[in-house]
Structure 1
Amino acid sequence: MALSLAVKSAPHLCRSLPAVMNADDTLTSSVSMPAVRPPSLLGLTLLWHPDPSRAGQQCVVPSASGLLALQRHEPLFQSAGQAGAALEHRCIARAPLLIARRADDSVQLTLPDSAMSVAVDGNRLTERETVLTREQIGRGAVLELGGHVLLCLHWMGTPPVHNPLPGVLGVSTAAAALRTQIRQVAQTELPALLLGETGTGKDVAARAIHAASRRGGRPFVAVNMAALTESLAAADLFGAVKGAYTGAQHARAGLFSEASDGTLFLDEIGDTPAVIQPMLLRVLENGEYRPLGARQNAHSAARLIAATDQDLGARAFNQALLRRMEGYVIRLPALRERREDIGLLLYFFLRQWNEQNGLDVQLPVALVSALCREDWPGNIRQLGQVVRRLALMLAAGETPQLAALLAPVARSAVAASAPVPPPVPAATPKSARAKLNAFSEQTIVDAMESTGWQIQSAARTLGISRPSLYKLLETHPQIRRVETIPIEELRQALQQHATDLVKCASMLRTPGEALRRHLRVIGLLA
């Protein structure tokens, strides 16, 4: 099995790769893995440099001696397949910082005979010798040299390797293993299930699988299953004939038909309405489905990829459907498990923002250092949001406060009107209710308004999941279910705002995704 081979070839990645299936556990089950030693290589990755484009360059501590003398003119840091270059900056001393791997896999740092400051994880070293534990290296230790250069000291599985999938960024062993799995599954017709915390890039991985497959030139259609209403989910996915339900004035093709022989990406598969799950199982089993109100079955040639951040085995989820979706399972690593990638991702997001805005905003090294030390519960998505907000503030001449940017937006919004309840275990239903009840009606409206009435963005702003936001919207007196809005009112909104759906959603006080789908269903939007 290709997946088990990937695990065997990189055992140190067990935290981010799926467990091998056995008789008692599915691939999505929580299977305890045996303790393993760190990989054989100790590496240094450039997180930040006065030339920020160098972020992501790496060097490897020689295995034979386990000793590296780091100074201004050596060693060479390089990207795979490119010429290397030393740090070559006046802030780096000519006298070496000695990095020595010891027999127990701890690492000893010996300060140079110079005035160069050296900090580890934000703490300046004052002792001549400092020992970092194996676990510290496993988390990725952030070294700050001379106040200008940032490095990550970490374990590596292999020397730097070429990235064949430029859209999937990262120089870490975990990122390389992810790209290997993407390329493996892309060559098959198996359904794929992507597992990972929110913000780890499951949508990016799905698009990469599609692009690398033989279907790459065919349609890629994505749908957020959490955004489907139970009453219209079947029509959204499978289509409907004219008159199949109230308001169906025209026949409509569903998402399976739209995907044709390309790829259909079912994001948030764990939130699929229960009535739809057996229908999806049938498509996976024989490729057949029946449009709503039709007398004959239709056939789908689309390849299915699904994603979730939930434990489907522990939920009331159709287990037969889960088994079918487990044709190939990929677990995406959290950003805290690939700290050496943070600098490269920072540079990507900053360069992207600068290009879009025609500016050249630069991040202070102290700020970058703090960013690299964060654990990022919202992962890559949260990192990108924070970088864009930082760039906006710096461009306006403001002094950003990182702690305020990292705190959930909802916390400051709620604080003005109600005390924040003390933190309790998030897994309990009582805890979830307490958190949701803390939001005022106006806070929820403000979150929807500020994000263009997009559920996903508003939930992220409030610091809650999309299903939780849906629960809030169901009982909100100011926010309307799109099915309850008269057709004439919909027509007036479209005419008044020239089919600008963001403005229409704001005027009608209804989520934008649901509005778009409903307008298509009733024939008011092509």
Structure 2
Amino acid sequence: MLLTLAGHPSLRRIGERVELVGLAGGVELSRRTPELRTTDGRVTGPLLDPYISRSPLMLRASEAGDVVIDPMGAGSGVTVDAMQLTGPLTVTAERLARGVVLELGGRVVLLLHAVVGGEEPAPKYGLVGESAGIQQVRREITQAAGLPVPVLIRGPSGAGKELVARALHAASPRAARSYVAINLAALNPGTAIAELFGHVRGSFTGALQSRPGYFREADGGTLFLDEIGEASIEVQAMLLRVLESGEVQPIGGAPARRVDVRVIAATDANLDAAIESGAFRPSLLHRLAGHELVVPPLRDRLDDVPRLLVHFLEHELRRAGQSELFEAMTRDCSRELPTAVMTRLLRYAWPGNVRQLSNVVRRMVGALLAGGDVLGVVEALAAGTVGRAHPAAPTSMPTSTGEPEPGTQVSDAELTAAMRANDWQIAATARQLGVSRNTLYARMKRTGKVRKARDLPRDELAGLYAQQGGDLAAMAGLLGVSLRALQLRLRELELVP
């Protein structure tokens, strides 16, 4: 059993923890006990906040594996999962597996949670967190990095699959060679095969010059295929051929070329269901899954929420030129981050996972720098502005939410404003809204007010090109599409070289 420090006046202490040994006989929790440690084992001492009672809570294990939280003389300033603690409370093993939020004196937030441990830690690989789930991911990266087989990364949207793919490449013998990342959902279906495997000049309409393709660009290194479940059947057949033969056949009659590429694929789709429906080839899945790695959702690594918050907070404040503010908050953040902020974040379901948390922190920093209400940003989670939360006093946390991702409920005006702010780029807009690209595409289709460059008709583009004197940036702004997507569409229609 662990106690993880999730909220404290000193931001630098967030993430410290203590293993509760001897729970059968009872463990005291107060300002003076127990002693906490950093995740690398350095002793940092007890909570030592003068606003927390000297009189201890008592945490005691029952024979059934539950934990009894007894306020004893700790007074009235203790809440458990946002409910006032007025007498001994039995917390079930099921709740402990999810994590129980304790708030002390309105100053400190602790997460009481069961943990499966005992295995040797692995290198961090740039992944933020110390939860059992993220530690397992690190161990699997260590195991898979040097294997000469493809890797399939599974996990929900926004959980960090691309970061894991980069870590696999960086830890592999190919680290010094090329790393090429492609989102298959973002490829134009009409040219996806040519973009992946290459083509010769004149092999199809818009092929004004020969291109090597992404596989040859990644030769000797790693090719990351994100959202592999979105690949068309035709692309799947070509991928299978390359994985089996090691040869790439460009479109247009050029000779096949051997390539040495380590393929890493990722998906949040149910590929087994896609196989049953005929949308995905079972032979390709078997080839891709030389080693499978699962990235857990954020709701299953709840003790990493405070660590990720500090990480994103530092990044956003330094990017805004507010390093001094961040350093001040490491000493005392009680004004900027009241305990209610972390309590709410820990009790939220996080359907958008780490991507959504990053987006929430970005909004928090915006409110902070504007002199606004940071707590109001977090409370908007419960209101449904950036997703939906659990009820105020949940008795269970679902293993999966059947609810839409945050962003699916964004108004047409908010969607358009977000896309304009990101120069109509799909990836950047999806990050801002805390959703996957697939969700954003679906939302764009539903509104009917935002178009894709690949759907723009030739006559409209030709007329606007002449009107704007070939100024593609101006055209992109008027059409509401990204400049890169517009360039690709114009080349496809042979309107530009």
Question: Which residue does the alignment assign to 2:380?
Answer: 404
Query: Match for residue 449 of structure 1?
Result: 420
Structure 1 residues 10-62: Cα deviation after superposition (integer angstroms, max 9, x where no partner): xxxxxxxxxxxxxxxxxxxxxxxxxxxxxxxx111111211112222111111
Aligned to 1:317: 280
Equivalent AA in structure 1 for residue 349 of structure 2? D
Q: CA deviation at 1:274?
A: 1.9
Asked if 1 retains the 8 angstrom alpha-carbon contact of 2:297 and 2:353, the reply is: yes
Could you list the per-position Cα deviations for residues 153-194 of structure 1 after superposition, in whole angstroms to 9, with x for gaps in the alignment?
111122696561251111111111111011111121221111
Give the Cα separation in 1 of the matches to 2:469 and 2:119: 53
Query: Secondary structure at 2:234's aligned position in 1?
Result: coil
User: Cα distance, 1:82 vs. partner?
Assistant: 4.0
C-alpha change, 1:213 and 1:409, in structure 2 (3 Å) is same
Deviation track 1:287-325 (CA, whole Å, cap 9, x = no partner) reads 112112133112221111111111011111111111111
Contact kept? 2:8, 2:109, Cα under 8 Å: yes
Q: 1:407 to 1:311 in 2, by over 3 A?
A: farther
* Contact 1:59 1:78 (C-alpha < 8 Å) held by counterparts: yes
The CA distance in 1 between the partners of 2:443 and 2:105, in whole Å, is 50
Q: Deviations over 1:475-505 (max 9, x none)?
A: 94762534745579669879647xx6xx663
Secondary structure, aligned partner of 2:36:
coil
Alignment of 1:147-186 (within 5 A): 147-158=106-117, 162=121, 164-186=123-145
Preserved contact between residue 250 and residue 521 of structure 1 (Cα < 8 Å): no
User: Are positions 1:190 and 2:153 aligned together?
Assistant: no
| Offset, 1:511 | 4.4
CA gap of 1:266–1:173, structure 2 versus 1, over 3 A, is same
2:292 matched residue in structure 1? 329
Task: Kindly indicate whether the alpha-carbon contact (under 8 Å) linking 1:117 and 1:146 is maintained by their aligned counterparts in 2.
Answer: yes
Alignment pair present for 1:130 and 2:89: yes
Aligned partners of 1:80 and 1:161 also within 8 Å: no
Partner of 2:314: 351
Aligned-residue offset at 1:332 = 1.1
Relative to 1, partners in 2 of residues 1:440 and 1:104: Cα closer, same or farther, differing over 3 Å?
closer
* Structure 1 residues 472 and 508, CA gap change in structure 2 (3 angstroms): same
- Asked whether 1:479 is paired with 2:451, we answer yes
**Quick check: 1:69 aligned with 2:28?**
yes
CA separation of 1:328 and 1:104: change in aligned 2, threshold 3 A: same
Conserved 8 A contact 2:133-2:296:
yes
1:393–1:187 Cα change, 3 Å: same
Question: After superposition, what is the alpha-carbon deviation per residue over 1:313-343, rounded to whole angstroms, capped at 9, x for unaligned?
Answer: 1111111111111111111111111111111
1:182-224 deviations in whole A, cap 9, x for unaligned?
A: 1111121221111111111111111111111111121111111
Q: Distance in 1 between matches of 2:291 and 2:358?
A: 29
Query: Using a 3 Å threshold, how does the CA distance of structure 1 residues 153 and 525 change in structure 2: closer, same or farther?
Result: farther
AA partner of residue 365 (structure 2): A
Instruction: State the distance in 2 between where 1:271 and 1:257 align.
Output: 22
- In the alignment, which of 117, 134, 148 is matched to residue 77 of structure 2? 117
Relative distance call for 1:465 and 1:205 in structure 2 (3 A) is closer
1:139 aligns to what? Answer: 98
What secondary structure does 2:136 align onto?
helix
Partner of 1:278: 237
Moved more, 75-84 or 252-261: 75-84
- Partner in structure 2 of residue 88 of structure 1: 48
Could you give the per-residue CA deviations for residues 223-280 of structure 1, whole angstroms, max 9, x where no partner exists? 1111112111011111111111112211112111121211111111101122111000
Which of 304, 314, 320 matches 2:263? 304
**1:92–1:116 CA contact under 8 A, matched in 2:** no
Cα separation, partners in 2 of 1:287 and 1:461, compared to 1, 3 Å: same
When the two structures are aligned, how many residues end up with a matched partner? 463
Maintained 8 Å contact 2:97/2:115: no
- Distance across 2 between alignment mates of 1:522 and 1:299: 31
SS class of match (1:276): helix
Q: What's the CA shift for 1:145?
A: 1.1
Structure 1 Cα separation of the partners of residues 285 and 469 of structure 2 = 40
Whole-Å Cα distance in 2 between the matches of residues 322 and 98 of structure 1?
52
Distance 1:440 1:70 in 2: 46
Query: Structure 1 pair 68/114, CA: closer, same or farther in 2 (3 Å)?
Result: closer
- Contact 1:248–1:521 (CA<8 Å) still a contact in 2? yes
1:341 maps to 2:300:
no
Unaligned runs of 5+ in 1: 1-41, 413-424
Aligned to 2:17: 58
Instruction: Call closer, same or farther: CA 1:227–1:115 in 2, change over 3 Å.
Output: same
1:295 to 239, 243, 254: 254
CA change 1:410–1:61 in 2 (3 A) is closer
CA distance in 2, matches of 1:274, 1:305: 19
State how 1:246-261 maps to structure 2 within 5 Å.
246-261=205-220
Whether the 8 Å contact between 1:60 and 1:159 is mirrored in structure 2 is no
Work out the CA distance in 1 between the residues paired with 2:295 and 2:270. Answer: 14
Query: Equivalent residue of 1:264, what SS?
Result: strand
Task: Rate the CA distance shift 1:391–1:440 in 2: closer, same or farther, 3 A.
Answer: closer
Taking the aligned partners of 2:119 and 2:38, their CA distance within structure 1 comes to: 7
* Distance change in 2, residues 1:206/1:463 (3 Å): closer
Amino acid at match of 1:332: V
Partner of 1:421: none
Give the corresponding residue for 1:6. none
Corresponding residue for 1:367? 341
CA distance in 1, matches of 2:111, 2:489: 49
**Aligned residue in 2 for 1:387:** 361
Q: CA–CA distance in 2 between the matches of 1:224 and 1:490?
A: 29
Residue 380 of structure 2 aligns with an amino acid whose one-letter code is: A
Quick check: 1:252–1:521 contact (8 Å CA) kept in 2?
no
TM-score when normalising by structure 1: 0.79
- The Cα of 1:91 is off from its aligned counterpart by 2.3
Which letter does structure 2 place at the counterpart of 1:232? Answer: T
Contact 2:452 2:481 in 1 (8 A): yes
**d(CA) in 1 for partners of 2:50 and 2:345?**
24
1:358 CA displacement: 2.2
Identity of aligned residues (%): 37
Q: Could you tell me which residue of structure 2 aligns to residue 505 of structure 1?
A: 476
1: CA distance between counterparts of 2:242 and 2:494?
27
Contact 2:58-2:70 within 8 A present in 1 as well:
yes
CA RMSD in angstroms, aligned pairs only:
3.4
Measured at CA, do residues 470 and 345 of structure 1 come closer, stay the same or move farther in structure 2, by a change above 3 Å?
closer
Distance 1:183-1:231 versus aligned 2 partners, 3 A rule = same
